Homo-oligomer: A and B are copies of this chain.
Amino acid sequence: MKLATIKNDTRDGQLVVVNRDLTKAIRVSEVSKTLQEAIDNWDTIAPKLEKIYQQLQNGTASNTFDFDPTQAMAAIPRAYHWADGSAYVTHVELVRKARNAELPETFWTDPLIYMGASDAFIGANDDIKIENEDWGIDFESEVAVITDDVPAGVSVKNAQKHIKLIAIINDVSLRNLIPNELSKQFGFYQSKPWTSFAPVVVTPDELGNSWSDTKVHLPLISTLNSKIIGSPNAGIDMTFNFAQLIAHAAKTRSLMAGSIIGSGTVANQGSPNGSSCLAEVRCLEIIKNGKASTPFMSFGDRIEIEMKNETGNSIFGKIDQTVKSYKPMS
């Protein structure tokens, strides 16, 4: 099934079930007001939502309305846990190569994960508001999963059972703030401001055979100002699958229901189908030409991120955002 959270003037929005074509939706307040409430009680609530989804699909549902993706908030507009991996190690290797740094051998066996800002999630069509263009504004196209409660010390085998929903996201990065933050060794903070979600999240069964080994085996298409920057396949070169990322995240403590685990920038070795962020484009230019020629994003730039199934239909709807200048109050 497909689910979305739509704006209703509350911080948490309203949960709706959306049909497969992303054209019709139905409010489900009587089953669950929010996606967080649903994931808190997934075993009892998911079957009820599935039933509504089937009615929506076969045309027997009443009180449906036209689904408007511009009204979508992030799937969980404020969440309790957002951990983003860097599971496509080929991307990390490329970034290191561009600055003549070695990739530690352990990066191929020990997942990289950083803790992100789970209170800074925005909707698929919300503006990316940034104060300063000089901060090096970049998009990062990723796949993410949403879990139910994960016990501490979960095995990789058992971790996969806790994947309840799949999302695609734009993890906005401020590239020029990253070197200083990384040098302090405390991880990303100011350099990771906003993360946006595509209009809907889906249960794994919606992906059919494209969901296997807890990876999504489909291209993720990133388009900047109407030009495709990349469409790497998210199922190729994912060194750590989602089950492995979850087991890593839960090594020393449990994860709360509604935890969101990201894949990191999707990338394929050699980047034959382009890239999922401008940083990678620039690294390829540096390796080839000695310097980067593609700039980071500017105010007014439009980024679209989408994933289509094998018959060409949009699975999650489209992230479609514009970078806007933000002026803090004095």
Chain A interface residues (CB < 8 Å from chain B):
11, 40, 78-81, 83, 86, 104, 107, 110, 112-120, 129-131, 135, 151-155, 158, 174, 177, 180, 182-191, 193-194, 248-249, 251-256, 259, 326-330
Contacts and interface: CB of A to CB of B under 8 A. Distances in A.
Contacts of A116: 115
Which of A79, A81, A117, A188 is most buried by chain B, counting CB atoms within 10 A of its CB?
Answer: A117
Nearest to A326: B152
Contacts of A135: 252
Given A114-B189, A116-B115, A252-B190, A78 B80 contact: yes
Contacts of A153: 131, 326-329
Which of A119, A180, A254 is most buried by chain B, counting CB atoms within 10 A of its CB?
Answer: A119
A255 to B, nearest CB: 7
Contacts of A186: 86, 112-114, 187-188
Given A114-B189, A129-B152, A131-B252, 7 more contacts: A107-B184, A110-B184, A115-B115, A115-B116, A120-B253, A153-B328, A155-B330
A188 B190 contact: no
26 contacts: A11-B40, A78-B256, A107-B184, A112-B184, A112-B186, A114-B186, A114-B187, A115-B115, A115-B117, A115-B188, A119-B256, A119-B259, A135-B252, A151-B328, A151-B329, A152-B193, A152-B326, A153-B326, A153-B328, A158-B329, A177-B252, A185-B187, A186-B187, A189-B249, A191-B252, A193-B253
Nearest to A40: B11
A81 B118 contact: yes
Contacts of A328: 151-155
B256 A115 contact: no
Closest 10 CB pairs of A and B: A187-B187, A153-B328, A119-B256, A80-B119, A193-B253, A115-B115, A114-B186, A193-B252, A81-B119, A78-B80
